[in-house]
Amino acid sequence: GPLSERPLMEVRLGELHTWISTCNFSPQGLLGAVQKAWSSYCAKYIHVRQGGPAGISMLLAGYCLLSYGWNYQHFSK
């Protein structure tokens, strides 16, 4: 298909600059990209028939890393 409709993992390294230039960087476009990423994450890890703890544990691990990054100055003293 067209380059602008390909997911990032299917874009070749030489086409990356052209693919980035076709992206919509307006606030509405960025919000749409975040919504699409969240819905694909939920479809893959959360809303599955025989899901395990992988999706929830990934969210928890991400929160722990983010919290550690926010409090790094406090921990390093």
pLDDT digits (tens, 9 = 90+) for 40-64: 888 888 887 766 787 788 889 999 9
d(CA 24, CA 5): 12
Residue 1's pLDDT is 72
Structure-derived torsion over alpha carbons of residues 4, 10, 15, 16, reported in degrees to the nearest 10: 80
DSSP code of 53?
Answer: T
3-state class percentages of the chain: helix first, strand second, coil last, to nearest 5: 75, 0, 25
pLDDT (average), residues 14-42? 91
Residue 9's pLDDT is 85
Question: Containing domain of residue 38, as a range?
Answer: 1-73
Residue 6's pLDDT is 86
Neighbours of 58 (CB within 10 A): 13
Number of domains in the chain: 1
pTM of the predicted model as reported, rounded to 2 decimal places: 0.55
Average predicted confidence (pLDDT) for the chain = 87
